[in-house]
Amino acid sequence: MNDLQQLFSRVRKEGRTLHKKSRGGGLSDNMARNCHSLCHRALEKAVAERLIVKNPIEECKVPPIRRKEMQLLIREELQRLLIQAGDEGYYEAFLLELATGLRVGELMALQWNKAHPGHLR
């Protein structure tokens, strides 16, 4: 267990291999939790197959989930965003997202109906 705890501590402090200069050397708490989850599932399989008696990761501490307060754009920031989106040909997509609250994946899955311009399918 101690080895695993040290691994997760090291990952959080110096686990990043890409973008070290701009984002720092450590991984986010969320990524550390993902690593923990992956190891947990693998070790649970080892327990199920009787390769080990107990899952050693059970005693490891994982970083807590920290919720950040949502930051809303003010009217002037929204206007600048839509102007920039319009300049780059994405005005309708951004306006639709802002008006409906669609997630990015949902928004990107939409297709324009060529038979009836202005309609989505």
Contacts of 102 (CB under 8 A, 6+ apart): 96
pLDDT at 4: 82
pLDDT at 78: 92
Which residue did the predictor score with more confidence, 121 or 111?
Answer: 111
Determine the structural domain holding residue 9 and report its residue range: 2-59
Reply yes or no on whether the pLDDT at 121 is more than 70.
no
Same domain, 88 and 39: no
Structure confidence by residue, pLDDT tens digits, 42-68: 999 999 999 999 999 988 888 787 788
Same domain, 51 and 86: no
pLDDT at 29: 80
pLDDT at 12: 76
Contacts of 46 (CB under 8 A, 6+ apart): 52, 55
Alpha-carbon torsion angle 95, 96, 100, 106, nearest 10: -130
State the chain's mean pLDDT as an integer: 83
**Alpha helix positions (H), the chain:** 2-14, 20-23, 29-48, 75-87, 91-100, 104-109
Q: Average of pLDDT values for 110-116? A: 70
Same domain, 54 and 78: no
Say whether 50 sits in a helix, a strand or coil: coil
Query: Is 17 part of any domain?
Result: yes
Sign for the CA dihedral angle at 83, 85, 90, 92 comes to negative
Same domain, 22 and 40: yes
Reply yes or no on whether the pLDDT at 23 is more than 70.
no
Number of structural domains, the chain?
A: 2
Structure confidence by residue, pLDDT tens digits, 64-110: 877 888 888 899 999 999 999 999 988 988 888 888 988 888 888 88
pLDDT at 59: 84
Same domain, 55 and 32: yes
